[in-house]
A and B are shown apart, each in its own frame.
Chain A
Amino acid sequence: MTYLAKPKFHHPELPKNALGYTHRDYEGSVSTLCAGCGHDSITAAIIQACFELSIEPHRVAKISGIGCSSKTPTYFLGNSHGFNSVHGRMPSVLTGANLANRDLIYLGVSGDGDSASIGLGQFAHCLRRGVNMVYIVENNGVYGLTKGQFSATADRGSKSKRGFINTDNSIDLVAMALQLGASFVARSFSGDKHQLVPIIKAAIAHKGAAFIDVISPCVAFNNHAGSTKSFDFVREHNEAVNRLDFISSRMPIEVKYEPGTVEVVEQHDGSKLALRKLAADYELHDRTAALGFLQHHAAKGQIVTGLLYVEQEPEDLHAHLRTVDSPLNALDEKELCPGQAALDKFNASLR
């Protein structure tokens, strides 16, 4: 159906958000991915999250690398500028864009090949710099566009559609993100919208490097028996540590859950995350404990999902660089050019 243009009309009574936009205002063009692709569910979750947060769609910059996942920014936020850059290099392009204008929301979309294989270096360095962004990896463990080769997140021992067994160790991007200093780290599952949408909302509100690994089964090349990234496998092995409710600073907090099972986390912008704790022993603000918990469960074959770590007062790259409050791309010669007088002084110092 992808050759059909998306119809522009919509139901006159579609619900509107605080800005008066409907869900349709956050959509993009029709997806060209395979029917049933997990990535389309992530696209839907991003649309839902942006709609619910009442974000001005054009104030988001969507930046991706190359691959199936990196195509998805065309399918959401059609009134936003998008940049489908170079394979594995989304993080550097996003970093540059963010430096140029600190006022936009930066949404980086990447895949497991894009981030864990060719782009592992850039993945690591943009997280350690604390770029204020939402970095989503749509993780299916395979290269889809080139027809089913393993990526670096494929688990050791998992079987490809053509029957090959992966003998290389896998890279856990969540563990790496924790180790590299990301200030917001989560994992979710494309098939679990109720968990994913609030995580994306919380990540957008987070003023620092927010990383979300979303397991997203590839219906064409990685959804068979023997795969550890299939719908069935992930559903069976999903170990959710929490369920999240995101409350923006405008809304009153209504915590409806049993005391002792809910943890309320306030972020820097005043938004609040109400976490329904599923694993009683889970410590949200302790990087080391989060890593331990993750590895402990990975050893048991369980995939831990939920909001795994959050720093309440993160510092971003602009804070590290002490840049001015106004976007650098808005400064003109009056602000930037020191003029002949300063040059005269400079010349005089060199004689």
Chain B
Amino acid sequence: MPTATPISRVNDFVIRFANVNGSGSASANEMFARAVMRMGVPVAPRNIFPSNIQGLPTWYEVRVSEAGHLGARGGTDLMVAMNPQTFDRDIAGIEPGGYLFYDSTKPLPPSKFRDDITVIGVPLTAICNREYSDPRQRQLFKNIIYIGALTALLDIDVKVVEQLIGEQYKGKDKLIEPNIKALHIGRDYAILNLQCPLGIKLKRANAVGDRIFIEGNSAAALGAVYGGATVCAWYPITPSSSLADAFTRHCAKLRVDPGTKQAKYAIIQAEDELASIGIVIGAGWNGARAFTATSGPGISLMQEFIGLAYFAEIPAVLFDVQRAGPSTGMPTRTQQCDVMSCAYASHGDTKHVLLFPEGPAEAFDFSAQAFDLADRLQTPIFVMLDLDIGMNHHLSKPLTWDDKRKYDRGKVMTAAELEAGKEFGRYLDVDGDGIPYRTYPGTHPTKGAFFTRGTSRDRYARYTEEGAPYVDNMQRLIRKFDTAKDLVPRPLLATAGKASKYGVIYYGSTSPAMDEAIHMIEARGHALDRMRIRAFPFHSSVNSFVADHDFVFVVEQNRDAQLRSLIVNECGIDPVRLVPILHYDGTPITARFIAKAVGDHLDKLTVKQTKVTS
């Protein structure tokens, strides 16, 4: 018996699979997560993988939470330790009272285990060697066998997994039966030899509703299809490649003319990120909706072109699926570390519009909206995703679209308007919102042509190096940026149950962990108002939120408190009023981390105040 009481919880635990990259474990583990969802229990899987194709350690973490907490929690209740390389540290990561599932074919000395956990051994290798002669089959079926054992140990309805196997191998039907057989080999072994179920287990629930299971990159790519993107140029880089892949897949289904089989899209895998953004800008200049998908190193390479698009006022959409930098950094780990490099991208005075979706549903919405914003504002729009949002499956509310919605193509002067004698000045602010009219190339035989350049120009696009027209133009660009404040998604405010002197600002993938952390913070006796920022430039409510509180925590996933700096800089706020809470080790931020950091800070404050008053 373990020295700690075994954890006993229904529909509320974290299971972590430790595997070797390239062993075929990913699809088996994903099937496990889907099975939990199909049982009506909310699930949040996270894939922690190396920048490698075969041989290095990889983990798949599945958080099961009927209460609906979908952020990373931290800690592991059940470790499925399938990788000898990481065995020791995997065991160290188990919560006291937790469970270890391992391959017991080769006996291990007691020193390899802990006395405060429950150890469950299944001789997986021995079973596979007995059942299969082909080495590849031995490896692949081992994954399904442990899933089978887990169905018994965790009380998962085996019919659900059988159905998932049927769906996964639809079209390759001869694979269905051997997989189901392997599933039952594992399940039968567990039922015969182990005490089933464990203290942690599943029970059918009805807490998933109509939610869908989707990766953020796929949702963002679909948003680009719905938003009318016709040109995509990209260069492969983790963690954004799957966005371009998903766009290719969605387009093949949704954008091919059924009669002619011709494509209503063009996708170019460019030679580098410079060419990617160049193609996007060329297409945007010529009136098509175009985007690129990249990550931090790509943004670095695109800097010169981003400045051109800002200054020459050309619509473009950039998806930055952020990963841990600087330099190559941790290419398969998540961070929110490109906020600054995108907000002020390129040389000279520039400012750019950033959108911060929290997960797949907003990734879809903001992606489609980004194309309207790019056309309306005639400027690059950055959709700031990260590896956690982009490459993990999330339980998300279903994607929706209003069929009455029309694209906002912005201020484009037509041949008829030119013909009627409407005044055209490419950089003329006719409406006072800083946004000028543009014409598409080829519009009119004698009117409306202009020369686009990165050099300074006057209101009629004529080259000039005079100070006054330069300043006039730069001031108009600031006016335009002010206009953007009311066009981008507004921050979302959630007030505490009782009046609070303190607030917290957060954004992007921190959202689910923050939602959970707030309960933990409240449980410690603290009230906190919350604001989730969804875009830059900041709406005026950001200033008032900070003004309304003694101080505000800013929670982010980078070292340098980049969003906090942006708020200080753009809103003219005294930095002492913004307390940074920073998580940047490359793993997704957890509720436990936020609750502890914020809670400890507020506890100290309470102690101090008590001292002062006593």
Contacts and interface: CB of A to CB of B under 8 A. Distances in A.
**Are A and B associated in one complex?**
yes
A336 B264 contact: yes
B285 A83 contact: yes
A86 B453 contact: no
Contacts of B290: 96, 100
Interface stretch (B45-53, B269-277, B508-516): B269-277
B283 interface: yes
A85 B281 CA distance: 10
Interface in A318-335: 318, 321-325, 328-329, 331-333, 335
Contact of A61 (B264, B286, B405): B286
A329 B228 contact: no
Q: Which bucket holds chain A's interface residue count?
A: 35 or more
Contact of B225 (A86, A97, A103, A338): A338
A59 interface: yes
A331 B212 CA distance: 30
Interface in A82-101: 82-86, 89, 91-101
B254 interface: yes
Contact of B254 (A93, A103, A329, A342): A342
A93 B266 contact: no
A96 B231 contact: yes
Interface string B266-307: 111011101111111111111110100000000000001100
Interface stretch (A179-187, A267-275, A343-351): A343-351
B595 to A, nearest CB: 31
Contacts of A56: 445
Nearest to B230: A328
A58 B230 contact: no
A322 B262 contact: yes
User: Looking at chain A's contact residues, is the secondary structure mostly helix, strand, loop, or mixed?
Assistant: helix
A328 B231 contact: yes
Given A121-B271, A324-B257, A339-B403, A99 B441 contact: no
Nearest to B262: A324
Given A122-B275, A129-B268, A325 B262 contact: yes
B8 interface: no
A104 interface: yes
A333 B449 contact: no
Contacts of B214: 350
Interface stretch (A10-18, A72-80, A237-245, A256-264): A72-80
Contacts of A323: 262-266
Interface string B431-451: 000000001111111100111
Nearest to A339: B403
Given A86-B305, A336-B264, A99 B442 contact: no
Contacts, number: 222
Contacts of A125: 270-271, 275
B255 interface: yes
Given A81-B449, A321-B263, A347-B398, A95 B268 contact: yes
Contact of B212 (A86, A99, A104, A350): A350
B286 A101 contact: yes
Contact of B280 (A85, A94, A96, A351): A96
A338 B226 contact: yes
Contacts of B614: none
A89 B305 contact: yes
Interface string B193-211: 0000000000000000011
Contacts of A97: 282-283, 285-286, 441
Contacts of B283: 96-97, 99-100, 328-329
A57 interface: yes
A319 B287 CA distance: 21
A89 B263 CA distance: 27
Contact of B255 (A57, A333, A336): A336
A142 interface: no
Given A81-B450, A346-B399, A324 B263 contact: yes
Nearest to B254: A338
B575 interface: no
A95 B275 CA distance: 9
Contacts of A101: 286-288, 440-442
Given A95-B268, A99-B231, A340 B401 contact: yes
Contacts of A82: 449-452
Given A97-B283, A351-B212, A78 B449 contact: yes
B213 interface: yes
A89 B400 CA distance: 39
Interface in A114-168: 121-122, 124-125, 129
Given A125-B275, A342-B254, A346-B399, A92 B270 contact: yes
Contact of B452 (A84, A94, A331, A340): A84
A331 B257 CA distance: 12
Contacts of B398: 343, 347
Contacts of B230: 99-100, 328-329, 331, 336
7 contacts: A58-B441, A82-B450, A83-B452, A93-B285, A121-B275, A122-B275, A322-B263
Across chains A and B, which 9 residue pairs bring their CB atoms closest together, nearest first? A96-B282, A92-B278, A100-B288, A81-B441, A329-B287, A100-B286, A96-B279, A93-B282, A96-B283
Interface of A: 56-59, 61, 63, 73-74, 78-86, 89, 91-101, 103-104, 121-122, 124-125, 129, 318, 321-325, 328-329, 331-333, 335-340, 342-343, 346-347, 350-351
